[in-house]
Homo-oligomer: A and B are copies of this chain.
């Protein structure tokens, strides 16, 4: 089932499906790439390259991490995948490319999507002559699980994030 459009045709492609689209770009749709596309499509876990690799290397013995990175870079460059920089130590990928926001649990680092549009207008005096084209909000908080755990253990670690 189709969830984020990753397996559908690209905006400019003449025919539907990923195979034709890739072919028209002079790119080849290999089994590895198709597996990555399928793994990512509709995935809301915001996986990093390593996790994608781990999830697929069972089915593809000898799959290379370089191939995963290669495919992710192509998808990202074509705007079919968002590269999240939320995690300072590794890049995470999000197949949901429609503008949306993130809700990050300060304790377990889980990232949830918020599909909602907020009307944000920067006061002119603060806009400094910039032309604003978009925004991306990170909400911080505690997920239900960690809220429960915090109550049980009474308190917890300090985190310096909004």
Point out residues on A near B: beta carbons under 8 Å. Answer: 76-77, 79, 82-83, 85-88, 91, 97, 99, 103, 105-106, 112, 114-116, 118, 120, 122-123, 126-144, 147, 158, 160-162
Residues of B within 8 A of A116 (CB): 122-123, 126
The complex is assembled from copies of this chain, and their number is 2
Residues of B within 8 A of A140 (CB): 132-136
A126 to B138, CA, bound (A): 14
Residues of B within 8 A of A162 (CB): 99, 133-136
CB distance from A103 to the nearest CB of B (A): 6
Q: B99 touching A160 by the CB < 8 A rule?
A: no
Residues of B within 8 A of A129 (CB): 143-144, 147
Pick the most buried of A83, A86, A136: most chain B CB atoms within 10 A of its CB: A136
A72 to B36, CA, bound (A): 38
Q: A139 touching B128 by the CB < 8 A rule?
A: no
Q: A144 touching B130 by the CB < 8 A rule?
A: yes
Query: What are the 10 A-B residue pairs with the smallest beta carbon separation, nearest first?
Result: A134-B162, A129-B144, A79-B160, A132-B141, A85-B88, A134-B140, A130-B141, A131-B142, A135-B139, A136-B138
Given contacts A85-B86, A130-B147, A136-B162, 13 further A-B contacts (CB under 8 A): A97-B160, A103-B128, A103-B132, A112-B128, A114-B122, A128-B143, A129-B143, A129-B147, A130-B144, A131-B147, A133-B142, A134-B161, A135-B140
